[in-house]
Structure 1
Amino acid sequence: MKPVCFFPKIAARAAVAFVFLAGQGIAEPSHGIAMYGEPALPADFSALPYANPNAPKGGRIVTGNTGAFDSLNPFVLKGNSPWQLRFFAYESMMGRNRAEPFALYGLLAETIETAPDRSWVEFTLREEARFSDGSPVTIEDVIWSYETLGTEGHPRYHTFWNQVAIIEATGPRSVRLTFNTDNRELALIAGLRPILKKAQYENSALTDATLENFPIGSAPYVVADFEAGRQVTLKRDPNYWGKDVPFRQGTNNFDEIRIDFYGDGEVLFESFKAGDISYAREFNAEKWASQYSFPAVQSGDIVKSEIEHQKPSGITGFVMNTRRAPLDDIRVRDALMHSFNFEYINDTMTGGRQPRITSFFSGSLLSMQPGPATGRVQQLLTPFADELPEEALSGYDLPASDGSARNRRNLRTAVKLLNEAGWDIVDGKMRNASGETLSLDILLPQNDNQNKAVVDIWRKSLEQLGIDVSVTLVDNAQYAQRTGNFDFDITKERRALSLSPGNEQRLYWGSGAVAQPGSRNLAGIASAAADAMITEMLTAETQDDFVAATRALDRVLTTGRYIIPIWTYSVGRIAHRKEMKYPDELPIYGDGADWMPQLWWWED
């Protein structure tokens, strides 16, 4: 297909790419795409398999966030916006089917087309696609959105854009992106980038958006009202363009979603008990078992639902900033891991009801296997044996205590590790050869009561080792600013991981993100082995090679002692109004921002 409008990024790369493309086989447009193999749903599918296409429309629900907000623009680094906006108010070319590891189907795009080697991807826009103001979504909007997000938007969008050699219109409603990197996932990632309205920013920059001038979207919900820092009201657009698109059948059923903001989680919970909030997600199994017997639960007005899933554990815990000494020393990090008495903390916090995360992908097919690395995993890791901890190849288990508060054996090991790293107890303090005390500051949001309680227990063990510990509590805006600038020693970490991890792994653990402000690589991981394993994942052409590369990455990350893991969320827990219903069939990913409340409905 001959381009009708050329939009170059780099002229030299464009010329090379044109010659390269001339040798590619002819691709065919499709209704969907999967990371491996063919998408599971046929071209004539009528609804997602876990959606209720007959769900009634109507009802109003209220949800709660902790903290506050000072922005309604979720696409830039500046400001703190409600996290729900990206999911509820904006759309991308494709939408994800949560019943498959990684497969996309047409949303703004009618079809998707790729080269056999996925060196390029082409989308054809639906003719009926509209923004919420009624104006058509155009190819110019699409091209502008990719470029602007990739250059002016939040840094999480930059990595993808840097792997685009050319973006060009190939017809009145079609656009092609040609990549400069051998990365089979890029075609799918392209399908998930949000599309914004170019004309809105003819006289201003995306980064200049104010509370009153937030981006216009094309999704089922629009911001109808807000009170700075306190509440945002989203209303279902009665003129939503995509109401007949198969991907949208049975979704976005509530007429209104209001987001109220609370100072901390306990205040939010009390408001839920009082009936001010329609639903609450609970992440603490002990609290779920002991504190959800209030009158509304007993009367049946509030229902407790447990949502199963098949996804990896991901990583939740306390991340150590390796950009700063002495946390750049793995022996110090290992000592801190030994000092963290998980068994005692877990019993105190959850009654021992939640199992520990044992690796970044634990609980799934993608997790590192017990014992020494074998087969393809061993082959991948062996070239990096000199830079990796020995346990990456020989096998590794997290430190475990006897469950008592004393944790003596692990504390003795911690002292030994610190001694090896050049630290010794002098006058009751852990000091280095220069007499400096080992001091650590733990940064947390002021409303994070659960992690604060965990740190209060852990802190006693650290002080037993002669380490000076301070805990700094800041508001959400300061927390976002400080973590975005890596201004911390230790802070909380939560990274949900999918059954098809890909390009986002570079943002989480890649060396290219270490110095990038706003990067999600909070630990500052700069590992050639991690980079190589991510590349292997992204270029794998078979499921077996992909699984081996992910297991190898899991070993690199886990044995690197970057994050002290706590408990896994093996089941989703949602307490909700009895009128709120959800389909019987659950997606393999269970609960998530694009399942609850999108797939739910109100039934009196």
Structure 2
Amino acid sequence: MIRNLLVAFSIYTLATSALAAPDNHSSLIHGIAMHGEVKYPADFQRFDYTSAQAVKGGTLRRGLQGTFDSLNPFIAKGSSGDKLSLLYDTLTVQSGDEAFSQYGLLAEHIEIPEDRSWVIFHLHKTAKFHDGEAVKASDVVFTFNLLMEQGAPFYRSYYGGVSTVEALSPHQVKFTFKDGVNRELALIIGQLPVLPEHYWSSRDFSASSLEFPLGSGPYQIQSADAGRSIVYQRVKDYWAEDLPVNRGINNFDTIQIDYYKDGVVVLEALKAGRFDFRWENISKQWATSYTGPAFDQGLLQKSMIEHDNPSGMQCFLINLRKDKFKDSRVRQALNYAFDYEWSNKNLFYGLYARTNSFFANSELASSGIPEGRELEILEEFRGSVPDSVFTQTYTNPISDGSGNNRGNLRKAAKLLKEAGWVVKDNQLVNAKTGQPFTIEMIIYAPSSERIVNPYAKALKRLGIVMTVKNVEISQYINRMRSFDYDMVTGGMGQSLSPGNEQMEYWHSSSADKQGSRNYAGIQNKAIDKLVELVIAAPSREELVYRTRALDRVLLHNHYVVPQFHSGAHRIAYWDKFGQPDIAPKYDSGYSMGLMTWWVDPDKEKQLNNAKQSIKQ
């Protein structure tokens, strides 16, 4: 399961709040969990991480580095604007304090049999789009078919387990699933954003466009200036405003997102009061640049918030579609050349931990030597996965942090030689063809250069010439979609509930599908089977074992050069907000967590007065 792009699984339950039990052994329920029971009963009033003290009003201003040239986030064309999900309601909505539970939004009730072979969503009869037209079951069918036929390739994989979708009545839509066990599908379909058929039937959905789209969600676009800003305005007569899943959420009257080309300028704009909230992902800036009178006086708040989300895998991604990377010894050598300890000490101010798992910072991460149930799962693949899976604990190379990484570079050189590469005239070449070993690393953020350049210098000592090419973000996106790269700095976000999205990351079926998230180009039958086992996990306990097995096999194939992660979010904001007493446990702070905040009128007045005193 993907969660904004993120959370953990918990098994379907017939909630104690079941409203009816038809003869076909299905139940009409208000919420559904992946494993276990839903936390909130049918008569719940609000999520625990929201506040009854929240008030509507005011403006939230965000500043981001990047650009956009499209208001259609569903296609693999253009660079879409940020937070466009605010325009669209989904069939269900996920709670931020459960591993993976969905509650009705557009769907007033959910009907599902015990074997989860299908699901029927009973729509609210009061649901409407922003133009006043009712949201109907036919809109759901239209949306599903539209995304499958013209949407980004991701959708065809994510919703690939659906056999049929049909409108049973104006307010009932049924999804029937293909044979096979995928207990997650009912929840995944609940995440479907519903688009208006009467709007899109006369437009080219596949074209990148800046026309303001029609939705049914809590916000609509007030203005958009391509590459510069988007302003969202809260819908005053939003049909679902008083539903329990929305109480205390979506409190800002206006949300303004301004775009900047340079990360340093973004921070300076925050300090100047040009926007209100920043989520910082550059450790150097966090350690050295969040200073000044506004911070000293407490007007700008700086906070590190620990979270329980898996960190995913941030890494140097290696494109296995290129012949020079097909030998795992080559890929392992590339990892030996990365001196993380020196980088963390000199570049990151010791703020990171090395990532040793694709599911780091969670119970899903593998460790040690496989045993028990995890070993039983892996035994099926003995002989088709690296022997080290069974005999060695995966660990990344370690240096002393001095910058003298000779020991690891010697190991890298040995691996490269074993793989058929030799040094001639200080250049690493293929022993058979004489082809030099070169790497083009593409980046789009100048801040990445301080990480990549030391790595390039280390590779040069091995005879590998790495060229670092800084490209515009639109070109970067297009090259990523077409797999036109040797290596990139990237990552695969994870949640506590891995499921269908793993097909996009690792499965052979997505390796040659342009626009997929199988950035490494992995085609491995054992991994295909492990991904399928993860998706079909019948319980939370089994999901953990199967995910650890998948993690272990991915690691021992050395598909990436792991980088680093943090178990806390670094945020800074002007002190004008009210916040609930409880933060959503599984939220990033950027999506639903921030959307539970509100502008406190008294705080905002005091802040504005204090800002004037600073200027004087």
- Place the TM-score, normalised by the shorter chain, in its bin: over 0.9
- Answering whether residue 508 of structure 2 is matched by residue 511 of structure 1, we say yes
- Aligned partner of 1:293 in structure 2 is 291
Q: Secondary structure at the match of 1:430?
A: strand
CA drift of 1:59 comes to 1.0
- Conserved? CA contact 2:58–2:599, under 8 Å: yes
- Aligned partner of 2:69 in structure 1 is 70
- Aligned partner of 1:58 in structure 2 is 57
CA distance in 1, matches of 2:207, 2:523: 33
CA drift of 1:415 comes to 0.1
CA distance in 1, matches of 2:520, 2:590: 25
- Aligned partner of 2:233 in structure 1 is 235
Return 583-592 or 351-360, whichever deviates more.
583-592
CA drift of 1:286 comes to 4.3
Paired letter, 2:115: D
**Cα offsets for 1:524-550 (capped at 9, x unmatched):** 111222221221122121222111001
Paired letter, 1:457: P
- Conserved? CA contact 2:587–2:593, under 8 Å: no
CA distance in 1, matches of 2:262, 2:562: 23
Q: Secondary structure at the match of 1:142?
A: helix
Q: Secondary structure at the match of 1:350?
A: coil
CA distance in 1, matches of 2:204, 2:117: 31
Q: Secondary structure at the match of 2:502?
A: helix
**Cα offsets for 1:421-449 (capped at 9, x unmatched):** 1001111110112211100000111xx13
- Answering whether residue 372 of structure 2 is matched by residue 375 of structure 1, we say yes
Q: Secondary structure at the match of 1:454?
A: helix
CA drift of 1:281 comes to 0.6
CA distance in 1, matches of 2:378, 2:23: 33
- Aligned partner of 1:304 in structure 2 is 302
- Answering whether residue 557 of structure 2 is matched by residue 557 of structure 1, we say no
**Cα offsets for 1:51-77 (capped at 9, x unmatched):** 113301111121112221110110111
Q: Secondary structure at the match of 2:48?
A: coil
Return 261-270 or 457-466, whichever deviates more.
261-270
Q: Secondary structure at the match of 1:207?
A: coil
Return 294-303 or 460-469, whichever deviates more.
294-303
Paired letter, 2:63: G
Q: List aligned pairs for 1:103-182, cutoff 5 A.
A: 103-180=101-178, 181-182=180-181
Instruction: Go from structure 1 to structure 2 and tell me whether the alpha carbon gap of 1:573 and 1:24 turns closer, same or farther (over 3 Å shift).
Output: farther
Q: Secondary structure at the match of 2:146?
A: helix
Paired letter, 1:52: S
- Answering whether residue 304 of structure 2 is matched by residue 342 of structure 1, we say no
- Aligned partner of 1:328 in structure 2 is 326
TM-score by length of 2: 0.91
- Conserved? CA contact 1:580–1:601, under 8 Å: yes
CA drift of 1:405 comes to 0.7
**Identity, % of aligned positions:** 39
- Aligned partner of 1:43 in structure 2 is 42
- Aligned partner of 1:533 in structure 2 is 530
Instruction: Go from structure 1 to structure 2 and tell me whether the alpha carbon gap of 1:161 and 1:362 turns closer, same or farther (over 3 Å shift).
Output: closer
CA drift of 1:595 comes to 2.2
- Aligned partner of 1:85 in structure 2 is 84
CA distance in 2, matches of 1:352, 1:402: 14
**Cα offsets for 1:253-288 (capped at 9, x unmatched):** 111111111112111111111111211111234432
**Cα offsets for 1:92-124 (capped at 9, x unmatched):** 100011101100001111011212111111101
Regions of 4+ moved over 6 Å: none
Paired letter, 1:355: A
- Aligned partner of 1:19 in structure 2 is none
- Aligned partner of 2:472 in structure 1 is 475
Paired letter, 1:430: L
Q: List aligned pairs for 1:438-587, cutoff 5 A.
A: 438-445=437-444, 448-587=445-584
CA drift of 1:580 comes to 2.0
- Conserved? CA contact 1:150–1:160, under 8 Å: no
CA distance in 2, matches of 1:593, 1:102: 18
CA distance in 1, matches of 2:448, 2:287: 19
Q: Secondary structure at the match of 1:303?
A: strand
- Conserved? CA contact 2:317–2:491, under 8 Å: no
**Cα offsets for 1:367-405 (capped at 9, x unmatched):** 1022x2111211222222223222222221111111111
- Conserved? CA contact 2:356–2:394, under 8 Å: no
- Aligned partner of 1:12 in structure 2 is none
Q: Secondary structure at the match of 1:83?
A: coil
- Answering whether residue 451 of structure 2 is matched by residue 437 of structure 1, we say no
- Answering whether residue 350 of structure 2 is matched by residue 352 of structure 1, we say yes
- Conserved? CA contact 1:52–1:250, under 8 Å: yes
CA distance in 2, matches of 1:209, 1:520: 20
- Aligned partner of 1:5 in structure 2 is none
- Aligned partner of 2:608 in structure 1 is none
CA distance in 2, matches of 1:83, 1:534: 30
CA drift of 1:171 comes to 2.6
For structure 2, the 5+ residue unaligned runs are 1-21, 604-616
Instruction: Go from structure 1 to structure 2 and tell me whether the alpha carbon gap of 1:567 and 1:581 turns closer, same or farther (over 3 Å shift).
Output: farther
Q: Secondary structure at the match of 1:413?
A: helix
Q: Secondary structure at the match of 2:227?
A: coil
The match for 1:594 among 580, 591, 603 is: 591
- Conserved? CA contact 1:122–1:174, under 8 Å: yes
Paired letter, 2:195: L
CA distance in 2, matches of 1:209, 1:129: 28
Paired letter, 1:366: L
CA drift of 1:558 comes to 1.6
CA distance in 2, matches of 1:89, 1:432: 53
- Conserved? CA contact 1:73–1:209, under 8 Å: yes
Paired letter, 2:77: K
Paired letter, 1:306: M
CA drift of 1:24 comes to 9.6
- Aligned partner of 1:14 in structure 2 is none
Paired letter, 2:553: V
CA distance in 1, matches of 2:557, 2:426: 29
